[in-house]
Structure 1
């Protein structure tokens, strides 16, 4: 017989498998989960996602599960609703869209080339360690201008994330409180991690050039604390989520030399005479786009989303009471055979439209940095494949670790300069 906590142990043991099993076995659009004293529903029908995400805030909005993230990112746009959320989102969207059309491609490409060249001097490297630092430099370039963070700042921010991420993830679905001394240690770690992050944020803001994205936030007349929270969110979301996906991207480049060769040829076909990627050609580069989308399908950094019912509503054939949490799992949606043929296989011939594909969320509150993240991964694939060959040091790697994001396991790779094909050599007929 099921009780309030029937599903909690299975979820805590293996959240990814838990979501997959319950989602695939679903016989109704909403699956009730026994994870505590309040109602929790797993959304099993992708057709419900858009109505949930587009619902009026008075009916369905962010709730207690999302609010727990305030321990780290404060009252930033991820944890806010209403006019404050809309104003910040609009300002960021406008500036990021301008950058996508003008300056981001050469900036990202240059940083990717520099990182690849540095890695080529090492005998072996860990993919996630490398990509997390690369994506941190990219988002800092966009926010503050070039060269704002020192290597020490980069290390401090990455270590602070490691310090708090698992504790925060564990607390989101926690029902019973920790023992007092355990809670005290966790609170101290959380505060230490946030203090380290905010120290880096403040140093970066002081050194920043008149970067457009930072100006857009300053124009909103935010308090110093609000500004710090918003910049911290951008740093974490802009580098941590993209960095985890980028590690898997390098893994697949290393595992599939034929795919890497196709990407190298595509890079050559959309580059100018100086060898620079042409921004206007990237939206119609089919191989790198499909590659990026398939990586995000298999390894969505945001592996769960949540909303909370605020007023009585009928949804998916059920009458839901206020306080009900609605869980959406991109991990499940992206791997359910009802929506994808051979979902565990890595394939570039998929069609990535439809409600069951949501690596950046869905609806009007989808990730504001979606365009930058996609562009960054696409450029990374093209730049690495065109100039270097990657080789996996291990035959296989472990499963990702579901924390706040989907953290890759150790992925050890080797890299060397690519030998040009004969057709690419000067004077080749």
Structure 2
């Protein structure tokens, strides 16, 4: 129980301390009656994530998320999981190569204009709404969700997520009236989310992700849960990461200017980013990848042994939980010299880099998330300078189901064009 108390007191610090100080590949954690291990060796991650589902699969810690996301692909295994994943991957891959770029860029520019007009704003409040708008456009088509719909979805998720995050590692059950209160709150959140999703689905446009999912002939309940998963995952992963993109653009103005220059080289005669040129935008992509190294949205992953096995020099009984922490792996000095330093020249392809997971179950939206964040960095840097105000030193993030950025008040001001700079000179 001692590790559980330390974990609940400071989850991110706990992973860093136990993982970075580890002298063995698997660290046994005292977190109740079950066998729980923290994976401290990056070379074990891929074999764990690639293992046959009969040997290592999603387990009870992941299954607790069913309270919000139901029987969606996040908790599924086997043929049904592979079938849904293949459809989503194919649709997203087609869009990432061309059609999503102008749509996402337009949404980002609209958001940026609102940031500039609002004066001071909280970064995550803005980027969370932006992420919902983008994933809703991918799912349903442009303009299907209203601002009120987006706010309702975000508020509903916040209503439930803190209690659910605490519940995942809970050993002592809640008292009956506390449990009843939490269930009522979760039920209210789910009803709100389901109402918004059904409204959006009825107005969905052809060639959207929802039209591809409908080809699977899922039940109404399964379709609802899959849509909710995509909305909520898009909101949390991209929305949180975009806050840190803004932060680092403000923290390193010279690097932001370099990304602004890169953006100018990508635009066509109409001032739009040409999707065919994005592959040459190395600086902005490295910037995004380094942001995700320091602030991966998912700070822990979990798998469970389905049978007795040997791993990392240990004999593990069936039902052992294996915790993998991207937050810890990506800040471990064994793999990253000066791990707290922001450095876009790092190699972001090693075994210890896993902001989207690893192996065949890597996040299906990885390419889309990278595209969103790269376009966000390019569009913001090209047109604005970010003023961090009093947030020059980033406050610590908040661990919930994912890592939530803390309140960070910022402002953006129009960047001087090269022509204007020459006139001033």
User: Which blocks of at least 5 consecutive residues in structure 2 are unaligned?
Assistant: none
Q: Matched residues in 2 for 1:353 and 1:283: separation?
A: 17
Are positions 1:273 and 2:269 aligned together?
yes
Q: Which residue of 1 aligns with 2:409?
A: 412
Which of the numbers 327, 336, 344 marks the counterpart of 2:340? 344
Q: Which residue of 1 aligns with 2:218?
A: 222
Look up the SS of the partner of 2:218 in the other structure. coil
Displacement, 1:196?
Answer: 1.1
Q: Which residue of 2 aligns with 1:322?
A: 318
Displacement, 1:272?
Answer: 1.4
Displacement, 1:211?
Answer: 3.3
Q: Matched residues in 2 for 1:134 and 1:297: separation?
A: 22
- Native 8 Å contact 2:127 2:242 kept in 1: yes
- Could you tell me the TM-score, scaled by structure 2's length? 0.98
Q: CA 1:203 to 1:425, structure 2 compared with 1: closer, same or farther past 3 Å?
A: farther
Look up the SS of the partner of 2:93 in the other structure. helix
**CA shift digits 1:8-52 (9 cap, x unpaired):** 100000010000000011111000000010000000001001110
Q: Paired residues, what number?
A: 423
Q: Which residue of 2 aligns with 1:104?
A: 100
Look up the SS of the partner of 1:121 in the other structure. helix
Q: Root-mean-square deviation (CA), in Å?
A: 1.3
**CA shift digits 1:334-362 (9 cap, x unpaired):** 00000001000111111111110000000
Look up the SS of the partner of 1:235 in the other structure. helix
Q: Matched residues in 1 for 2:236 and 2:204: separation?
A: 21
Are positions 1:39 and 2:31 aligned together?
no
Q: Matched residues in 2 for 1:73 and 1:301: separation?
A: 17
- Native 8 Å contact 1:119 1:125 kept in 2: yes
Q: Matched residues in 1 for 2:274 and 2:212: separation?
A: 27
Q: Matched residues in 1 for 2:267 and 2:337: separation?
A: 34
Which of the numbers 281, 284, 290 marks the counterpart of 2:286? 290
Which of the numbers 3, 13, 20 marks the counterpart of 1:24? 20
- Native 8 Å contact 2:141 2:208 kept in 1: no
Are positions 1:130 and 2:134 aligned together?
no
**CA shift digits 1:293-346 (9 cap, x unpaired):** 010000000100000000111110111111100000000000000000100011
Q: Which moved more, 1:213-222 or 1:297-306?
A: 213-222
Q: Which residue of 2 aligns with 1:399?
A: 396
Are positions 1:201 and 2:197 aligned together?
yes
Q: Which residue of 1 aligns with 2:182?
A: 186
Q: Matched residues in 2 for 1:257 and 1:212: separation?
A: 37
Are positions 1:117 and 2:113 aligned together?
yes
Q: Matched residues in 1 for 2:189 and 2:239: separation?
A: 19
Q: Matched residues in 1 for 2:359 and 2:64: separation?
A: 22
Q: Matched residues in 1 for 2:279 and 2:58: separation?
A: 33
Which of the numbers 222, 230, 235 marks the counterpart of 1:234? 230
Q: CA 1:90 to 1:424, structure 2 compared with 1: closer, same or farther past 3 Å?
A: farther
Displacement, 1:425?
Answer: 6.5
